Amino acid sequence: MQPSVSQLAIPIMSMRIKKLAVVYLAFVAGFFTTPIFGLEVTEFAGAAHGYPGLCDINGKSLANAEFRQWVEDDHLYVVITYKFPDGELREEKAHFRQHPELIQEQWSWKELKDQKPHREFTVDFLSGIASAHIHKDNKDVSEKVNIEKGRTFAGFGFTIALSNLRNRLLNHEQVELKAVGFSPFPTLKPQVVTVKISYGGLDRVRMADAHSRAIDSLFIRRFRRSQKYLSKCPTQKFG
């Protein structure tokens, strides 16, 4: 799977662990938007280890994955590794501070083909430096982006953030976060987009035992500032 979100080359991945919600990228109007200045931690994440599968939107298996999460020196660390049938390997890493508020400090995405580095993307949320490297084309991009600590996330960071927003969203608040991504090759320019999140009610999904199960849905709309104008990114849905 070549995960991408609209014009971003790097995915905002999501996976459901325990009570975490399935995320749908769609627009829901009519809610008041509440900006977040530091995200309160309502559910402290601890150690977890699992082997989820990576599937496409039709449920076809694409890769086997290993999920690892642990706490060390007051920081939460997450590593997700995807192994594809052709030998390709992709790995996402992130770490966070959970006290006194949730702040993502690091994020990286690495792809290996034939056991050789192919693409690498990193974001240092403390320094504000976002970097991309394409080994085959010897292409390097590194720029400083505007990071609002406690409001800006990347990759699995959104799953952690959403788990701490659930109660607020159930009360029909619409909140804003920011996401870091990269434009497509050849520019690979780091970008920060605004994400509006609201609660979308209950959806039913078909489980392995063929029974339907009601789960929470979240609706998200992204905006991207392009030069002097605010342009809307196309709406997409992920299950």
Which range marks the domain in which residue 93 is found?
A: 22-232
Pairing of strands 22-25, 212-226: parallel
In a domain, 95, yes or no: yes
Q: Is residue 194 part of a domain?
A: yes
Q: Per the structure, how many domains does the chain have?
A: 1
Residue at 75 is within a domain? yes
| pLDDT score at 207 | 53
Interior angle at CA 143, CA 196 and CA 149, nearest 5: 45
pLDDT of residue 3: 43
Tens-binned pLDDT, residue by residue, of the chain (239 aa): 444 333 343 333 333 333 333 333 333 333 344 444 578 899 899 999 999 888 888 888 899 999 999 999 889 999 999 999 999 999 999 999 998 899 999 999 999 998 899 999 999 999 999 999 998 888 999 999 999 999 999 999 999 999 999 888 888 888 899 999 999 888 899 999 998 888 887 766 555 555 555 545 555 554 444 333 233 343 333 33
Please, how many CA atoms are within 13 Å of residue 137, restricted to the half-sphere of its CB?
Answer: 12
pLDDT of residue 190: 93
Q: Which residues contact 235 (CB under 8 A, 6 or more apart)?
A: 25, 26, 27, 221
Nearest residue to 196 (alpha-carbon basis) of 55, 26, 62? 26
- Flag whether 99 is in a domain: yes
Does residue 14 belong to any structural domain of this protein?
no
- Whether 8 maps to a domain, the answer reads no
Query: Is residue 53, in this structure, part of any structural domain at all?
Result: yes
**Per-residue pLDDT, 221:** 53
**203 in a domain, yes or no?**
yes
Radius of gyration of the chain (CA): 17
pLDDT score recorded for residue 123: 97
Give me 39's structure tokens: 């995200």
